[in-house]
Amino acid sequence: MQIIPAIDMRGGRCVRLHQGDYGRETVFADDPAAVARRWRDAGATRLHLVDLDGAREGRPVNRATVKKILAAVETPVQLGGGIRDLETVRRYLSDGVDRVVLGTTAVKDQPLLTSALAEFPGRIVVGVDARDGLVVTEGWREASAVTSVDLLWQLTELGVPRVIYTDTLRDGTLTEPNFAALETILSDDRLSARHLRVIYAGGVSAIDHLRRLAATGVEAAIVGRALYTGDIDLAEALAAVHGSTGSS
């Protein structure tokens, strides 16, 4: 299982939100590129970037910061937040982003998602953000009536190979992952038959959580606040998880 550090950008700085609440922000660094180098040096093999301003405004806002990160490290990055059209997808991928994460678009504009999947096979990830089992969009500010499992099934029918499942009530809380919700997804026969690759995010705050997530068979886990507070040491976590699972 891959462990992917998160770098959430707002106003050009590296921040973390509590449960996606823009009014509950903690600034951890003024230079996200330096943070990217830190996680690279600790052994990260992929970084997860989020343009929080973009998610809120529905358009790219922190592109300049993303470019600084891409110039600072050769580590593959995946990026989400405010990506609502194909031209933005093309622009970020041409900048050097390895994967683009589509969230709101996947729920509200599935023709666009289908076009992106066809044009960029293997480079599109769908972010499925859920609160109490229901999908939320627009930077987690709008709740839908769609369950996460139903959306995941729709996505597999469209040919989506990989998703990031985030439990928004756990995100940034330093509690623990929603293992029950994750089990509901991983045990669904329809989804397992399609070999959907799942990346989990939300509430990961201890190395034991990562060991448990690795045992579920998820492809990767995204870790945010716990890395910045020191609750999880990335190098130690990589050694613990890879040593116990044999994955890389």
> Which backbone phi and psi does 138 adopt, to 5 degrees?
55, 55
CB 155 within 8 A of CB 105: no
* Residue 129 falls in the annotated catalytic set: yes
User: Quick check: is 8 catalytic?
Assistant: yes
Specify the 3-state DSSP secondary structure of 189. helix
Per annotation, catalytic residue among 51, 129, 167, 171: 129
Strand, coil or helix: 88: helix
Query: What are the Cα distances from residue 149, in Å, to 35, 112, 139, 180, 235?
Result: 34, 21, 20, 13, 33
Q: Is 203 exposed, middle or buried (0-12, 13-18, 19+ CB in 10 A)?
A: buried
Write phi, then psi, for 81 (nearest 5 degrees).
115, 105
Q: How far apart are CA 19 and CA 6, in angstroms?
A: 15
The answer to whether 129 and 168 have CB atoms below 8 angstroms apart is yes
Task: Please state, in angstroms and rounded to a whole number, the distance separating the CA atoms of residues 10 and 26.
Answer: 10
Furthest-apart CA atoms within the chain: distance in Å: 45
Phi and psi torsions of 74, nearest 5°: -95, 0
Which tokens belong to 151? 């959306």
Catalytic residue among 8, 51, 53, 171: 8
Write out the catalytic residue numbers.
Answer: 8, 129
